[in-house]
Every structure is written in structure tokens, then in C-alpha cells.
Amino acid sequence: MLKRMQKMYLALFIILICLPRFLCLIFEKYIDSANYENRIPAEKPAFHIDTFKDYPSEYEAYFNDNLPFRNVLISLNSWVNYCVFKSSSSERVILGKNKWLFYGDTNDGNSIADYEGTNAFSDEEIQAMKDVCRSTQNRLEEMGIQLAIVIPPNKERVYSEYMPDCYTFKESSRTDLMIEELKNEDIHVIDLKNDLLNRKSDYPLYYPYDTHWNQLGAYVGACSILNSWGYPTEDLSELTILSAAKRGGDLANMLNLSNLVFDDGAEYSIQESYSGDGTQLSDGFLYFKNPDAPIAKTVFLLGDSFREAMKPALCKYFSDVYIVPRGSYTYTMLEQAGPDYMIVEYVERCSDALIGMESIVFEK
Amino acid sequence: MVFSSSIFLWLFLPVVFVLNYFIQPKYSNAFLLLASLVFYAWGEPYLVFLMMISIVVNWIVGKGIERYRSFGRVILIAGVIFNLSILGYYKYAAFGVSIVNSVLGKEVMPVPDIALPIGISFFTFQAISYIADVYKGETGAQARLINVALYISFFPQLIAGPIVKYRDINRQIENRRMTSEGIAIGFRRFIYGLAKKVLLSNVLGKTADTLFAMDMGTINSKMAWCASLLYTFQIYYDFSGYSDMAIGLGKMFGFDIPENFNYPYLAKTVGEFWRKWHISLGSWFREYVYIPLGGNRKGSIRTYINLGIVFFLTGLWHGANYTFIIWGLYHGFFSIIERKGLQKILDKSKVISHVYLLFVVNLGWVIFRIDNLKDGLFFIRKMLMPWMYTGGEYASLWKYANGMTIFVLCCSVLGMGVIQKYMPEKIRKAWKFSLPEFVYCSLLLLACIAAMAGNTYNPFIYFNF
């Protein structure tokens, strides 16, 4: 090998293998080191003789979370996968048509199984859900609270035209069948799918780069709930819709491309919605007061992350709104709020969790 | 610790390399031994002591063989029994007990749950190679324990080979230099190995693993063929990539480790395949099992029996499961029928012999990969009788593969030796160690680093604080 080439390989070894950590320290302020992973990075472990067998894996986790130029490298890997090979760098993200992203994780519900109809509920499960829902509804009615069970459909089922052709769409999912069964038992469950499908050609209802519905989709959902209780609502066409630029989304974050490829999204809001900040009563438990609301009633919303976009719509119509994530909820909160209405929300891919609804709602 | 991990690439390797470069040569063996023990202990914090005990015992055995020549054979046998006992206990005890229980039809003893030490098959065979070579007089017993320890535990080839014979490396252990040329050549080789593992094998493995994990009933013939072809290339690039990295790292530290792969998928017979695939293992079995059994010097029948034994042991060496044994015997069968006349037929057509070899090897990998024989045979049946298993949507394969998979598969086919074989000699010589190749290697390394960083990315969809 020529001397010159020898020196070049040596330089490559020094620059890319020996020096990255030092280079990272030098260029620290120019490098993106933000946390896009929604988790706390692994801490540097202390070495103890008692737990030394765990030290290698813990140190390796810490090292991996603190790689030099980490975000740059991850983005580069994702960018090459996406732009050159039209592939997803994450097994949990499915690349759809027209730059849409969908959720392929099978450990957080299973949106694809819902989409393809490969995960039916058994008769025993349906019966158990009926029993739980009926019991919860009755117990709440005894407390003077009207229940509405809301199951926002997965984005994949609302925007199936953007799903890749390799997935076979089944018109009716297990959740659709379950909702029918619950309705037959006079359980107050709201079927949002058709309402959303009917409005999606007029308004964007879900984020293309996120798993969630946006405020417009949530508004359609909230109106369906209110209409079911006999309350009139304004159609979206009667309202002023605002849009602002929005980078990325949870799915784009999984590819670490929120700032590179998927930075051209939009956030929609309704000008006439309530925009107050509310009061934090405890961890995650929020209270909103809108004295100008047409419905002088109290509503309590217990749900997952899909609940957040419903806040403006509910606060527009109800004078008192309580919102809490399922993970932070306690029965004491319900007693404290003393609502007229309770909305229990489960996104479709987690609709099997409905079977535990009663114990969650009434757990003390 | 594996070579394709960030902690190896950006912490272990640069620290060990730089320190070894600057310390005095007389301390280099001790330092590399310490580094190798740390490397092994990183993945086996307790069983590193087992390896150390094995090293000490084998060193004593070697000295004993040399000192007490008249009892050399007995001491050698004792040493081999010791090594095989360790291997037998950790790797085969559970399998053996399950066989006994199965034969007797009841659980005579509970199947033990024994953790398999990483690389035990490799370092045990290296140890046996050392004491056998001392006995045969191929080399003298090493006086210094550190040198024997380094030979057995040297981190580049410790956990996945190549299996290096002591006589091939003893002079380098005692006297070597790290040179700029060696470092450059070694690093270049390391990059190619890393790219094979990270950019080819890992990508193909994602789809292959998904397909092999599916319920057997849902796989049609096309999916079965795709899975087997993907795995055929996955295992080649995984293993040969690791060998390249080992050879490259060895070169960087001043060692010349023998080659372990020589474009095996270009072979025309199974016999030739085994002279190109995992060369060090084939060489070990030839020297320490086949030849002592008589090789091909005792007539055809005895030759076939010896081949059968070697391939049985080759299969068994790979894993404690019937599937590995069947895989080994499957290769042994073809090896024997080639000797019996099939080779003469294959020699008539290069195309047919290449297709034959790839077909046989590909089917063999299915047996190797699958967890149980029944599923393996069902899988092969789907491959060989496509008209019976046409159900399922072919388009659904795109759920598990994508543009990257197809590109990598194409590169894999070209890289298995096709380019190397058909590229004109002039271009091949001009390319090697050229500036365009350097740019290509730099991009490969960057792509590997980006892919490895990508694998550390583990976002949660919701806040998980």
C-alpha cells in the first residue's frame, strides 16, 4: 500500500474512531443534542461489587444514550433510509402514500391488526365488555352522572387511502363489531368512525406525521358526543379555522426526522374555541372554567392522549370541564368534580382495555 | 461486547489501540491479555473465570506433555477430556439430559438450565489445538502463561473465530510490530467486515427473522423461499463479516490471522464449499479428527465413515439441537455422494454445479435456522412443492421487506464473489488501496456508524419520565 494511502486510512481511524468524543466537545454548541425520545436518558452507573454483573449493560445503555453526534447520526441514518431507499428506519413506523406515516407497533395495541381485521374479540370478551360497560353506566347513573364511551378510530382506518397497498383493509374492525354489540345493550357508546369519514374530505382531521387526531378531528368527535346527549353544536363550516406551521409529530419523532423531512405539517385550531389555560388540580388533572359556555354543566373526561385535542371543543360548550389522563386518575377526582357527564375515551387500538373500565373508574 | 457495537468502536478499540501503540513492546502481551479479559468479562462477568481456569489448565497440560514425554499421550488425553468436559457440560448437558428423558419416556432428571458461555466452542478448540500441537511436536510448550493466555483469549478472534492454530501465531505472540501499513491494511479490512455485518447481514436478518418467526401455517411457498434466501446471505455476511473484522483487528495489532472464508457460494460442490466456508473449523476437524481417524487412507468405506463422523461433529459443534446434527449429516451425505460419482457429473457443467451447490446449501440453512426439525421439514416441503402452498398474498411480503432490503439483497448477491470473479484483474488491482476505494470505505464506515447510532434510538410515543 502506498504511504499516502496508509496515512489516509490512519487519519480515517483517528478521526472517525478515536476523536469523535473530543470533536463533539469542541463543537458542542453547534450540535443538536435535544431529547426527542420522550424518555430520560440512561444515567452513568456507579460500579458496585454487589451488582457488577449489571454494570456492563447499564454502562452500555448510558454510552449509547450519550454517543457523540448522536442526533446527527440518527437523523442521517433515517434520512438515507427514507429519501434514498424509501424505507422506514423504525419498525414501529410505516411509510404511507403521500408522505403519510402510520403506526406499526404491535406492543402498543395493534393498529395494523385492527386495519386488517386479524384480531377479533372472542364472544367471552364481548360479553365481559358488555357487562363492564353496563355496570359502569348504571353505577354512574346512580351517582347522577351520564356516561359516554368514546372510541376514536385509529388513523389507519380513517385515512386508509394513504396506507401502503401491501396491507389489506377490512371495512369492519373488531371495535366496530364491539360498538354495535354495546349499542344493542343500550350502552351509551359513540361511534365516531362514520362521522369522521364523512368530514375528512372537507377538513384534515388527523396529523399526517402523528398518530393522533388534530383539533378539527377532536371537534367532530366532541360534537358527536354532545349531539348524542341532545345538545346542538356548530358545524366546522360555521367556525373560523386557523392554521399554523407544525414540525413533525410522534411518528416523525420515531424516525428522528421531525426537523428534516417532516417539518412541513400544520396545526389547526378553531378561533371560537375556548383558549383558557385552566387550573392544574394535581398531576395531570386539569380543570377549566368557561362562564360563557352555553351548557352550564360539568363534564369529566377520562382518557388517553387523544383526550388532549378534545379540550378546546369541550370547554367551548361546557361551563366546567375536568380532564385527566387514565394513568393519573383516582376515584376521588370524580367525587371531587361531581360532574353531570363523564366521557371515558379509549383509542381504537387499545379498545380491548375497555374490559378494565369499571375497576379504573371506581378504584379508590 | 461485540465489534458492531458503539462501545467497542468508540471506547474499547481506540483506548486499547492507542495504549498498546505507546506502551513498551515487552508489556504488550500482558496488556492485550488484560484487554481481552475485560472484553470477555463485559459479556460474561462470572464465566470469564472459567476461561481463565481453562487457560491455566491447558498451559499446565502443555508444559506437562513437553516435560513428561513418555506420558505425553496420557496427559494429552486428560487435557482433551478436561476441555471437552467443560464444553460438554455448558453446551450439551441440557441436550443430553433431554435425550435421555426422551428415550426413557419420562423425566429421569430435570433438564438443567445452564448458561452457555460466549465463545466456549472457539476457545475450547483453540486450547485443544495448542496441547495437541505440543504433543505432536509441531510447537514447543509455551513457557510463559501470559502468552498462552493471549493466544486463547485474544479478543479479535475470541468469541467467533477464526480458530487459530497455535503454531500459526506463536512467533507473532513473541515478536511482532505494529506498523503503519499493518494498521492501515487491518483497518480497511475491519471496515469491510463491519459493513458486511451492519449494512448487509443485519438488514437481511430483520426480514428473515420476521418471516421465520411467523406461524408455519401462514407462510406460502414464495415467502419460504424468500426467507431461506435472505438467511443464506444473512449468515454468510454475519459470519464472514465477523471474520473480516477479526482478521483486520489482528492485523492492526501486528498479528496475521488466517483467512476463514473464500467466497464459499462460488463453490461447485459441497466438498469445495467446506474448503471455503469457515476454513479454520474445517481445518481443525481435518487435522484433529479426520486424519487421526485415518482420513481417506483406509479404503472408501472407512473414508465415508470418517466423513460422516466429521460432519456429525461439525453439526454438533454448531449447537446442541437435532437440527444442527441433521444439518451436519446433510452436508456429509452430499460430500459422500459427490465422492461416489456425483462430482464427475457436476464437473461437466459449471452452471449446473453452481446451481446444485446453492440449492443444497440454501436448503441446508433452513434446517440450521429453524428451531425444530418438524417445522424445518414442513418449511422445506413448502419450498419444494410450491404448487401446494400458494395461499396468502404475495404482495404481503412488502410488509416485511422494503426498498432497502431489495437493494441490500442485490448487493449481497454481487458481493458473494460475483464481482470479484468477473471483474477484470486490471481493474481489481487498480481498485485495491486506491483513492476511490478509500472514499468508498470512508462512506461505508460512516454509514455503519450512522446505522449503529440508529439502533440506539429508542423513542417512546408518550412521555415516559
- Closest by Cα among A69, A45, A90, A109 to B458: A90
**A-chain residues within 8 Å CB-CB of B435?**
5, 8
Mutate to test the interface with A, among B21, B22, B456 (most CBs of A within 10 A): B456
Angle at A327 between CA A324 and CA A248, to 5 degrees: 80
* pLDDT tens-digit map of B184-212: 999 999 999 999 999 999 999 999 999 99
Q: Where are the beta strands (DSSP E) in chain A?
A: 93-95, 101-103, 146-150, 189-190, 241-246, 265-270, 279-282, 285-289, 295-303, 318-325, 341-345
* B-chain residue closest to A36, CA distance: B459
| Residue of A1, A70, A108 with shortest CB distance to B181 | A1
Q: What percent of chain B has pLDDT over 70?
A: 98
Backbone phi, psi, residue B30, to 5°: -65, -40
Are A81 and B181 an interchain contact pair (Cβ–Cβ within 8 Å)?
Answer: no
**B397, B433, B457 member nearest A37 (Cβ):** B457
- Minimum distance, in Å, between the CA of residue A253 and any CA atom of chain B: 8
Residues forming a β-bridge with A321: A288, A299
pLDDT in tens, A331-351: 999 999 999 999 999 999 999
What is the gyration radius of the CA atoms in chain B, in angstroms? Answer: 23
Q: Which amino acid is at B370?
A: I
Question: How many CB pairs lie under 8 A apart between chains A and B?
Answer: 156
Test the A interface: residue of B461, B463, B465 with most A CBs within 10 Å: B461
Residues of A in contact with B433 (CB under 8 A): 1-2, 5
**Parallel, antiparallel or unpaired: strands A279-282 and A295-303:** unpaired
Q: How far is B172 from chain A (nearest CA, A)?
A: 21
Comparing CB atoms, the residue among B18, B184, B451 nearest residue A5 is: B184
**Alpha-carbon distance B31 to B19, whole Å?**
9
Residue B259 pLDDT > 80: yes
Determine phi and psi for A27, rounding to 5 degrees. Answer: -100, 25
* Among chain A residues, CA nearest to B429: A1
The b/e string for A341-356 (b: 16+ C-beta within 10 A; e otherwise) is bbbbbbbbbbbbebbe
CA A274/CA A305 separation, integer angstroms: 19
Q: Is B293 exposed, middle or buried (0-12, 13-18, 19+ CB in 10 A)?
A: middle
Q: Which of A37-41, A105-109, B240-244, B408-412 has the lowest mean pLDDT?
A: A37-41
* Residue A136, helix vs strand vs coil: helix
Q: pLDDT digit string (tens) for B21-43?
A: 999 999 999 999 999 999 999 99
Q: Which chain A residues are closer than 8 Å to B188 by Cβ? A: 9
Q: Measure in Å the smallest separation between the Cα of A328 and chain B Cα atoms.
A: 13
Task: For residue A26, give every residue at least 6 positions away whose Cβ sits within 8 Å of its Cβ, in sequence order, or none.
Answer: none
Kindly determine whether residue B404 and residue A256, on different chains, have CB atoms separated by under 8 Å. no
Cell of A77: 441514518
Confidence of residue B397 (pLDDT cuts 50, 70, 90): confident
Task: List CB contacts (< 8 A) between A63 and chain B.
Answer: 6-7, 10-11
Residue A360 grid cell: 379504573
The pLDDT tens digits for A19-48 are 988 888 888 888 888 888 888 889 999 988
Would you call B36 an interface residue with chain A, using a CB distance cutoff of 8 Å? no
The residues in B 204-233 lying below 8 A from A, measured between CB atoms, are 206
Average pLDDT, chain A: 93
Phi, psi angles (nearest 5°) of residue B298? -125, 35
Looking at the predicted structure, is the pLDDT value of residue B393 above 70?
no
pLDDT reported for residue B398: 81
Beta carbons of B46 and A53 less than 8 Å apart:
yes
Cell output for A272: 371560537
For residues B214-228, give the mean pLDDT: 89
Confidence of residue B394 (pLDDT cuts 50, 70, 90): low
Find the closest chain B residue to A61 by CA distance: B456
> In what helix (H) or strand (E) does residue B150 lie, and over which residues does it extend?
helix B145-153
pLDDT of B395 higher than 60: no
- B162 min Cα distance to partner chain A (Å): 24
CB contact under 8 A, A81 and B404: yes
Q: How confident is the model over A222-252, as pLDDT tens digits?
A: 999 999 999 999 999 999 999 999 999 999 9
pLDDT digits (tens, 9 = 90+) for B115-173: 899 999 999 999 999 999 999 999 999 999 999 999 999 999 998 989 999 999 999 99
Which pLDDT does position B387 carry in this prediction?
86
pLDDT band, very low/low/confident/very high, at B461 (cuts 50, 70, 90) = confident
Q: Which of A35-39, A204-208, B285-289 has the lowest mean pLDDT?
A: A35-39
| pLDDT value of position B464 | 52
Strands A189-190, A146-150: pairing kind = parallel
Amino acid at residue number B363: L
Q: Which three cell numbers stand for residue A358?
A: 369499571
B110 interfaces chain A, CB cutoff of 8 Å:
no
How far does B373 lie from chain A, in Å, by closest CA?
29
B7 touches chain A (CB under 8 A): yes
Residues sharing a CB contact under 8 Å with residue A5, sequence separation 6 or more, in sequence order:
B184, B433, B434, B435, B438
Asked if B434 is an interface residue toward chain A (Cβ–Cβ < 8 A), one would say yes
Question: Between chains, do B454 and A78 touch, taking CB under 8 Å as contact?
Answer: yes
> Are the beta carbons of B42 and A70 separated by less than 8 Å?
no
Smallest Cβ–Cβ distance between A87 and the set B180, B404, B453 belongs to: B404
Is residue B450 a contact partner of residue A73, using CB atoms and an 8 Å limit? yes
Reported as a pLDDT band with limits 50, 70 and 90, residue B463 is: low
Tell me the nearest-neighbour CA distance from A108 into chain B, angstroms. Answer: 9
Strands A295-303, A318-325: pairing is parallel
What is the predicted pLDDT for the residue at B388? 82
Which 8-state DSSP code applies to residue B338?
Answer: I
Query: How many angstroms away from the CA of A80 is the closest CA of chain B?
Result: 9
Residues of chain A positioned with their CB less than 8 A from the CB of B442: 12, 16
The reply to whether B115 touches chain A by the CB within 8 Å rule is: no
Residue type, A35: N
What confidence score (pLDDT) does residue A275 get? 79
pLDDT for B465 beyond 70: no
Q: Are strands A295-303 and A189-190 parallel, antiparallel or unpaired?
A: unpaired
Could you tell me the strand order of the sheet in which A285-289 lies? A189-190, A146-150, A341-345, A295-303, A318-325, A285-289, A279-282
Contact yes or no for A16 and B1 at CB 8 A: no
ipTM of the complex: 0.90
- State how far residue B62 is from chain A, nearest Cα, in angstroms: 33
List, for residues A131-190, the tens digit of each pLDDT value: 999 999 999 999 999 999 999 999 999 999 999 999 999 999 999 999 999 999 999 999
Contacts of A87 in chain B (CB under 8 A): 402-405
Please check whether residue B460 touches A, CB under 8 A.
yes
Do the Cβ atoms of B11 and A63 come within 8 Å?
A: yes
Active site residues of B: 318
Mean pLDDT calculated for residue range B351-380: 94
Task: List chain B residues with CB under 8 Å of A254.
Answer: 459, 461
Helix, strand, or coil (residue A88)? coil
Q: Please list every residue in chain A whose beta carbon sits closer than 8 Å to the beta carbon of residue B19.
A: none
